[in-house]
Chains A and B, each alone.
Chain A
Amino acid sequence: KAGVTQTPRYLIKTRGQQVTLSCSPISGHRSVSWYQQTPGQGLQFLFEYFSETQRNKGNFPGRFSGRQFSNSRSEMNVSTLELGDSALYLCASSLGIAGEGGQETQYFGPGTRLLVL
Chain B
Amino acid sequence: AQSVTQLGSHVSVSEGALVLLRCNYSSSVPPYLFWYVQYPNQGLQLLLKYTSAATLVKGINGFEAEFKKSETSFHLTKPSAHMSDAAEYFCAVRTGANSKLTFGKGITLSVRP
Contact = CB atoms under 8 A, between A and B. Distances in A.
A106 B19 CA distance: 25
A11 to B, nearest CB: 14
B90 A107 contact: no
A56 B100 contact: yes
A98 B90 contact: no
Interface in A56-114: 56, 58, 90, 92, 94, 97-99, 102, 104-111
A58 B104 CA distance: 16
Contacts of B82: none
Interface residues of B, number: 23
A4 interface: yes
A66 to B, nearest CB: 14
B43 A31 contact: no
Contacts of B97: 97-99
B45 A108 contact: yes
Contacts of A97: 97, 99
Contacts of B51: 102
Given A35-B101, A104-B99, A105-B46, 5 more contacts: A6-B43, A43-B101, A92-B44, A98-B94, A111-B43
A37 B94 CA distance: 18
Most chain-A Cβ atoms within 10 A of its Cβ — which of B43, B44, B106?
Answer: B43
Contacts of B104: 42
Contacts of B99: 31, 33, 48, 55-56, 94, 97-98, 104, 106
Contacts of B103: 35, 42-43
